Amino acid sequence: MACLPFLPVDIADPQAKPNIIRIIKRSWAMSQSSNNDHFASSAAKRAESVFCQKDLWYFRTREGKEIGPFRYQSEAQSNLDRFLADLKAKLQLEIPAE
C-alpha cells in the first residue's frame, strides 16, 4: 500500500479539491520518477556484476562471492537473473504479507 502525501489543505473544503488532485498527481509523478531511477540503477549494477576473466564469464554477488565460470556472457547474465529471482522469492516467503 502506497503512502499518501501530507495534504496541506482541508480535505472537507469543496474548493480544495483541485489542490488535492494537483498534490496527489505531483506526488505520484515523483514516485514514478524515483522508481524508474531505481530500476535503471539496479540494471546498471547487475550489468557491472558480470565480468570476464581469462575468457570465462562470472558474476559477483553483493557479498563479493564470484559465481562461475560460464562460457558466454549471456549465460552468466541469465544465471545472475535466476539467482536474483530465487533470492527475491525466498525473501518474499520469509516476510509475511500484511
Q: What letter does residue 54 receive in the DSSP assignment?
A: T
Residue 95's H or E segment, with its range, is none
Burial call 42-52: b when 16+ CB within 10 Å, e when fewer: eeeeeeebbee
Task: Give me the pLDDT at residue 36, please.
Answer: 57
Q: What is the pLDDT of residues 44-59, one digit of tens each?
A: 555 568 999 999 999 9
31: its cell numbers: 514516485
What pTM did the predictor assign? 0.49
Task: Give me the pLDDT at residue 92, please.
Answer: 82
Q: What is the pLDDT of residues 16-26, one digit of tens each?
A: 667 666 766 77
Q: What is the pLDDT of residues 1-40, one digit of tens each?
A: 344 445 455 656 667 667 666 766 776 666 666 555 555 5
State the Rg of the chain over Cα: 21
Q: What is the pLDDT of residues 66-88, one digit of tens each?
A: 999 999 999 999 999 999 999 88
Spatial neighbors of 28 by CB under 8 A, at least 6 apart, are: none
